[in-house]
Chains A and B, each alone.
Chain A
Amino acid sequence: MSTINLDFAEELKEYSDDKALECFNCGTCAAICPLVHDNFPRRMIRYVQVGAREKILENSDELWRCLHCGLCTHTCPREADPGEIILGLKRFVVANWRRS
Chain B
Amino acid sequence: MTEKNTNKTPDNKKIGVYICYCGGNISDHVDVEEVKKRAEKMPNVVVARTNMFMCSDPGQELIINDLKSGKIDRVVVASCAPSLHEATFRDAIKRAGSNPFIYEHANIREQVSWVHQGDPATDKASVLVASAAAKAKLLKPLDPVRVEAKKHTTVIGGGIAGIKTAIDIAQTGINVTLIEKSSVLGGQLNNLDKLAPSGEKASEVLQELLDQVLNHKSITIHTDCKIEAVQGYVGNFSLSISKKSNNKIEKFNIETGAIVMATGAIPYIPFDGEFGFGRHEQVITLQNLIQILKDNKSTGSILEVNGKRIRNIVMIHCVGSRQIPGIHQPKEDGKLNEYCSRTCCAAMLNASNQIRENFPATSIYEMYRDIRTYGRGQEELYTQASANKVVFMRYETDAQPEVSLTSGSDYPFQVKVKDSLTFNEEMDVPADLVVLATGIEPDDVSGLASMMKLPIGTDKFLLEVHPKLRPVEFPITGIFLAGTCQAPMDAGEACNAAGAAAVKASALLRKGFIELDPFVAEVNPDKCQGHGACIEACLKEGALNLVEVENDGKTVKRAQVTAAMCLGCGACAAVCPEKAIDINGWALKQYEDMVDAIVSDGFAV
A25: CB under 8 A from chain B?
A: yes
In the assembled complex, 7 residue pairs joining A and B whose CB atoms fall closer than 8 Å, in A order, are A2-B426, A4-B365, A4-B427, A4-B429, A43-B422, A50-B427, A51-B391
Residues A21 and B391 in contact in the complex (CB < 8 Å), given A1-B427, A1-B428, A3-B414? yes
A6 touches B414 (CB 8 A): no
B428 and A50 contact, CB distance less than 8 A: no
Give every chain A residue within 8 A of B430 (Cβ-Cβ).
Answer: 3-4, 6
Given A4-B428, A4-B429, A21-B391: A52 and B386 interface contact (C-beta under 8 Å):
no
Query: A25 and B427: CB pair below 8 A?
Result: no
The answer on a CB contact under 8 Å between B422 and A52 is: yes
Least CB distance, A20 to chain B, in whole angstroms: 9
Q: Measuring CB to CB, which residues of chain B are less than 8 angstroms from any residue of chain A? A: 311-312, 363, 365, 386, 389, 391, 393, 414, 416, 419, 421-423, 425-430
Closest CB-CB distance, A10 to chain B, in whole Å?
10
Measured in the bound complex, the distance between the Cα atoms of B423 and A80 in whole Å is 20
Taking a contact as CB atoms under 8 Å apart, the answer to whether A3 and B428 are in contact is: yes
Which of B311, B393, B421, B428 is the one whose CB lies under 8 Å from A2? B428
Q: How far is the CA of A51 from the CA of B393 in the complex (A)?
A: 12
Asked whether A6 and B427 contact (CB < 8 A) given A46-B422, A49-B391, A50-B393, the answer is no
Which B residues touch A6, using CB under 8 A?
311-312, 363, 430
What's the nearest-Cβ distance from chain A to residue B231, in Å? 58
Cα separation A100 to B102 with both chains bound (whole Å): 92
Specify the chain B residue showing the minimal Cβ separation from A55.
B425
Of the candidates B311, B416, B422, the one having the most CB atoms from chain A within 10 angstroms of its own CB is B422
Task: Give every chain A residue within 8 A of B389 (Cβ-Cβ).
Answer: 9, 21
- A46 to chain B: which residues have CB within 8 Å? 421-423
- Minimum CB–CB distance for A44 against chain B, Å: 11
In this complex, the member of A2, A22, A25, A50 whose beta carbon has the largest number of chain B beta carbons within 10 angstroms is A50
In the assembled complex, the Cα of A9 lies from the Cα of B361 at a distance in Å of: 12
CA distance A50 to B428 in the complex (A): 11
CB atoms of A50 and B422 under 8 A apart? yes
Q: How far is the CA of A55 from the CA of B425 in the complex (A)?
A: 10
By secondary structure, the B interface counts as strand
A47 → chain B, closest Cβ, in Å? Answer: 7
CA distance A96 to B367 in the complex (A): 30
Q: Is A75 an interface residue (CB 8 A)?
A: no
Are the CB atoms of B426 and A1 closer together than 8 Å? yes
Q: What chain A residues lie within 8 Å of B425 (beta carbons)?
A: 1-2, 52, 55
Chain A 16-75 interface residues, beta-carbon cutoff 8 Å to B: 21-22, 24-25, 39, 43, 46-47, 49-52, 55
Question: Do B429 and A47 touch across chains, with their CB atoms under 8 A apart?
Answer: no
In the complex, chain A residues whose CB is within 8 Å of the CB of B428: 1-4
Q: Report the minimal beta-carbon distance from A27 to chain B, rounded to whole angstroms.
A: 10
Q: Which residues of B contact A50 (CB under 8 A)?
A: 365, 391, 393, 419, 422, 427, 429
* Extra inter-chain contacts (18) besides given A2-B426, A43-B423, A46-B421, CB under 8 Å: A1-B416, A1-B425, A1-B426, A1-B427, A1-B428, A2-B425, A3-B414, A3-B427, A6-B363, A6-B430, A9-B389, A21-B386, A21-B389, A24-B386, A43-B422, A50-B365, A50-B422, A55-B425
Residues of B contacting A4 in the complex (Cβ-Cβ under 8 angstroms): 365, 427-430
**Complex CA distance for A62 and B311, rounded to whole angstroms:** 32
Residues of B within 8 A of A52 (CB): 422, 425, 427
Taking CB as reference atom, which chain B residue is nearest A23?
B386
Q: Per-residue CB proximity of A1-15 to B under 8 Å, as 1/0? A: 111101001000000
